[in-house]
Amino acid sequence: MASQFLLLACLAMTASIALASDPSPLQDFCVADPSGTVPVNGHVCKDPKLVVADDFFFSGLHLAGNTSNPAGSKVTPANVAQIPGLNTFGISLVRIDYAPWGINAPHTHPRATEILTVLEGSLQVGFVTSNPENRLITKVLQKGDVFVFPVGLVHFQHNVGNVNAVAIAALSSQNPGAITIANAVFGSKPAISADVLAKAFQVDKDTIYDFQSKIIWWSQTTIRLIKFVLAYKVKQILSICLSSENQSIPKMASRFLLLALLVVMTCSIALATESLQDFCVAQPTRLAAVNGVVCKDPNLVEANDFYYSGLDIAGNASTAFGSRVTSVRVNQIPGLNTFGISIARIDFAAWGVNPPHTHPRAAEILTVLEGSLQVGFVTSNPDNRLITKILQAGDVFVFPEGLVHFQYNVGYTTAVAFSAFSSQNPGTVTLANTVFGSRPHISSDILTKAFLVDKQAIYNIQARF
């Protein structure tokens, strides 16, 4: 019995370490294969030998969506349904177009936090905290402003101008889902009982019938407000099969019981890594050392904790590389803490490069706003295969977590891109700086053997960093 408890303790510690974050890919990528017949929580992997650059590519985010619907908005998604290479990477993008005074109606994303930046126009945005406070946190955004919507909370956007507005949003899931509150409550099929809704909303049944009739008419005669939902549904199956031909043996039974306990405990550990409150706004002044940042007192949280301004301002690309990255991470938006997402603006001078680098803690999804970029990433050993593509305005490309990748402006004009990352702090390892510019230097003996050149060549490169 003691040995079994010891085994349980050891396995529990191992499981807690292994499952302290969302499951990570066990290969460079797992491009979705919709034709696969095995039901999984996500998609079956395509044969890596058949993977091509187009599996990580999408074109069309430069095109304005049709906002001629009652809400006056249109969402254009770039998730795993459009980009198979996003599978397992935990991130996606959308473009949202708004007619004058149009809204993206109150809704939730059950599986994702959202970070949004305004490209054109002015938007009033907001979210409502959970029970019992139900506090509205709201802000009016201008071009270049950024705002964060916590996972699962009701939120909205409203164009508060007489001109069209455009926003780009990143979401911390390859398939975030969307629940438009009015549609879900008053437009379900079959309809939720009027008795239930009358009590829930404290109104009479006639009011409920009126709401339901309008929502049903709306859903039948207009384009849906949200286009997040995948074209096909993916079954999510969790099955634990414990069997034995000889159930009467106490030793075998005890092992099954131990396994069952471990499964339950492992599931609870995995679930406990999710946010346990609406938000945990970072408070860097606290002294406690944690994997992230300590939470600010929720009573002191305000809209500015979820806000950043400045992504409309061009970065100074007059550098040796001809590029400038303007990051919006948890250091810039304290409200990003624990949400596993961040964004950046990248400016390129003519023929500028964002040199080969990695993000050790995040996948990246990039869309071009202006100009033309050659982008690419290199698979890991032993293949070291370059997967590359030329992008134009509105094109989207995905870079797998931890792989070497780059962007290169292949034009005589400046270029601008917007990137989202599947971490609040993805980290950046620029290879040239790291290998040849470390402090102190990596031994030239090591580098000469690694790069198969003489020491003088190593010294010449190190002198530049």
Whether residue 415 is predicted with pLDDT greater than 90 in this model: the reply is: yes
pLDDT confidence of residue 42: 64
**Burial class of 240 by CB neighbour count within 10 A (0 to 12, 13 to 18, 19+):** exposed
What is the three-class DSSP state of 333?
coil
Tokens of 374: 């050659």
Q: What is the pLDDT of residues 146-166, one digit of tens each?
A: 999 999 888 999 999 999 999
pLDDT confidence of residue 248: 45
Higher-pLDDT residue of 324 and 204 is 324
Higher-pLDDT residue of 20 and 281 is 281
Reported in sequence order, the residue ranges of 129-205 that DSSP labels E, i.e. its strands, are 136-141, 145-149, 154-159, 165-171, 179-180
pLDDT band at 276 (very low <50, low <70, confident <90, very high): low
Lowest mean pLDDT among 79-88, 243-252, 346-355, 425-434: 243-252
Our CA angle for 415, 86, 341, nearest 5°, is 70
Determine whether the annotation assigns residue 114 to a binding site. yes
| Backbone phi, psi, residue 51, to 5° | -75, 135
Q: Is 446 left (phi over 0), alpha (psi -120 to 50) or beta?
A: alpha
* Chain mean position to CA 283: 23
pLDDT confidence of residue 213: 83
pLDDT confidence of residue 293: 66
Determine whether the annotation assigns residue 43 to a binding site. no
Q: What is the pLDDT of residues 223-268, one digit of tens each?
A: 343 333 333 333 332 333 334 344 444 444 444 344 333 333 333 3
pLDDT confidence of residue 8: 44
Range 287-298 burial, b when 16+ CB lie within 10 A, else e: eeeeeebbbbee
pLDDT confidence of residue 341: 94
Higher-pLDDT residue of 87 and 260 is 87
pLDDT band at 131 (very low <50, low <70, confident <90, very high): confident
Domains of the chain: 2-30+237-272 (no CATH), 48-221 (2.60.120.10), 303-428 (2.60.120.10), 429-465 (no CATH)
Determine whether the annotation assigns residue 155 to a binding site. yes
pLDDT band at 15 (very low <50, low <70, confident <90, very high): very low
> CA nearest 353: which of 369, 374, 367?
374
Strand (E) or helix (H) holding 457: helix 455-463
